Amino acid sequence: MADPHVSPGTAGMTITRQERSPAHEGELLTVNFGPQHPSTHGVLRLVVDLDGEVIRGLRPVIGYLHTGIEKQMEALRWQQGVVVTDRHDYLSPPINNLAYALAVEKLMGIEAPPRAQALRVIMSELTRIASHLVWLGTSSLELGAMGVYMYAFRDREKVLDMNEEISGYRMHTSYIRPGGVMADITPRFANMLETFLKEMPSNIDEYERLLSKNPIWVARTKNIGYLSGQDAIRLGATGPMLRGSGVDWDLRRDRPYCGYDRYSWEVQVRTGCDCYDRYLVRIGEMREALKIIRQALDGLPSGPINVDDRKLLPPPREELETSMEAVIHHFKLFTEGYAPPVGAAYVAVESGRGENGCFVVSDGTHKPRRVKFRSASFVNLQALEQMAIGSMVADLIAIIGTADTVLGDVDR
């Protein structure tokens, strides 16, 4: 939230929300949507002014899931912060890990080895699929289609199983860490991934058969939640919200990281600016993610999965028994941690929801001075009012769904 006392800077722009007259002066019905409402994806609260069922005013109220994650990270050592990043956007932990890890690495001027980068890509894309599946399931359930929900969760379950296999944890993986990744892939993981890659395309076809040409689904999403490309840019929307409005922008291609430029895939762009095209963008992204995983898995480079730096990562277990130096490193790392040089770094990665940026400030100590997440959910939420004014209550549900916000990510 912008501080009203700070004069607007030279960069950026200020968007002021117009104050409306209170509802009771007119013939409007003010309804509280949330924080306890089945379709607000957690604890989003919307104060909605209704004229019949037509929405005349909408004010999002956030803060019900504030967990102080950013502040918490200031009290944790650099390598401990990874664990907390899992938890703000709880539908895409590896991508949050990645943003943080890349920011810390940028600060320290190191780069993860090629094998780690490929593993990071695989996990990020798996996460993107899982996150889109949750989106698909919940937003179709919100529009009344119960079956798709369970089918989408069937496939997400496979991703969670793979998370467990590779990191030991189903949701909060903490798999991607500054300097590399936590563990190498196991043969079982490779098998699971192969099966997943084989089954998934036909499963996505199944979702499309159920929804893409379903007249009711099309009627409920087409021309609903209109957000022009210009407005999307003005409001800072990113991810499928931006690409569904015809703006061709994907950080993976335009600001490549982790070697995304080495894979051949297509950025999904649709020009419909409505819920239906955002749905198609997300379906397309799942297919593209499968392509990327296929290429990353086939061309998985051999070599270490972590930087070879004893100041940053603990020595292997067997070295502790033979090397005094290793013991010292181990002790220092787990009592004090490491300290990046004084400075600040910002790295943004493309999560399922959009630009997930991480800004870290180091004052040269072993704990960050400040960590700030530029979360896609929070910024995309700003477009809600623009999309919803003038539509009906039933459409509001589709519009909340299409914004695909994770409330933990909004409040942090």
Partner 1 sequence: MNHLYLSYPNPGGIFSNPVGYWVIVALAIVFTLFVLLTATAYTVWYERVLLGRFQRRPGPNRVGPLGLLQLAADGIKLATKESFAPAGVDPILYLVGPAVMVAAAFLAWAVIPVGIWWGFSYWISNINVGILFVFAVSSMNAYAILLGGWSSNNKYSLLGGMRAAAQLISYEVALGLSLVPIFIITGSLRLQDIANFSVHWGPYHGPIPLVIVAPLSFVIYMVAATAETNRTPFDLPEAEQELIGGYHTEYSGLKFTLYYLGEYLNMVTVSTLATLIFFAGWHPNAPWFPAFIPFVAKIVGFLFLYIWLRNTLPRLRYDMLMRLGWKVLLPLGMANVVVTAAVVVALTG
| Residue ranges binding partner 1 (CB under 8 A) | 29, 31, 37-39, 50, 52-53, 140-147, 149-151, 154, 210-211, 214, 216-217, 219-220, 392-397
> Of 29 and 233, which has the nearer Cβ to partner 1?
29
> Of 9 and 215, which has the nearer Cβ to partner 1?
215
Rounded to an integer, what distance in angstroms lies between the CA atom of residue 198 and that of residue 347?
33
The least distance separating partner 1 from the CB of residue 251, rounded to whole angstroms, comes to 32
> Of 149 and 373, which has the nearer Cβ to partner 1?
149
The least distance separating partner 1 from the CB of residue 90, rounded to whole angstroms, comes to 21
> Of 154 and 198, which has the nearer Cβ to partner 1?
154
> Of 214 and 382, which has the nearer Cβ to partner 1?
214
The least distance separating partner 1 from the CB of residue 26, rounded to whole angstroms, comes to 16
Three-state SS string across the chain, please?
CCCCCCCCCCCCCCCCCCCCCCHHHCCCEEEEECCCCCCCCCCCEEEEEEECCEEEEEEEECCCCCCCHHHHHCCCCCCCHHHHHCCCCCCCHHHHHHHHHHHHHHHHCCCCCHHHHHHHHHHHHHHHHHHHHHHHHHHHHHCCCHHHHHHHHHHHHHHHHHHHHHHCCCCCCCCEECCEECCCCCHHHHHHHHHHHHHHHHHHHHHHHHHCCCHHHHHHHCCCCCCCHHHHHHCCCCCHHHHCCCCCCCHHHHCCCCCHHHCCCCCCCCCCCCHHHHHHHHHHHHHHHHHHHHHHHHCCCCCCCECCCCCCCCCCHHHHHCCHHHHHHHHHHHHCCCCCCCEEEEEEEEECCEEEEEEEEECCCCCCCEEEEECHHHHHHCHHHHHHCCCEHHHHHHHHHHHCCCHHHHHC
The least distance separating partner 1 from the CB of residue 394, rounded to whole angstroms, comes to 4
> Of 37 and 367, which has the nearer Cβ to partner 1?
37
Q: Which amino acid is at 243?
A: R
The least distance separating partner 1 from the CB of residue 311, rounded to whole angstroms, comes to 50
The least distance separating partner 1 from the CB of residue 66, rounded to whole angstroms, comes to 24
The least distance separating partner 1 from the CB of residue 207, rounded to whole angstroms, comes to 12
> Of 235 and 280, which has the nearer Cβ to partner 1?
280
Cβ within 8 Å of residue 232, ≥6 positions away? 241, 242, 245, 247, 273, 383
> Of 140 and 351, which has the nearer Cβ to partner 1?
140
The least distance separating partner 1 from the CB of residue 220, rounded to whole angstroms, comes to 6
> Of 108 and 275, which has the nearer Cβ to partner 1?
275
The least distance separating partner 1 from the CB of residue 222, rounded to whole angstroms, comes to 12
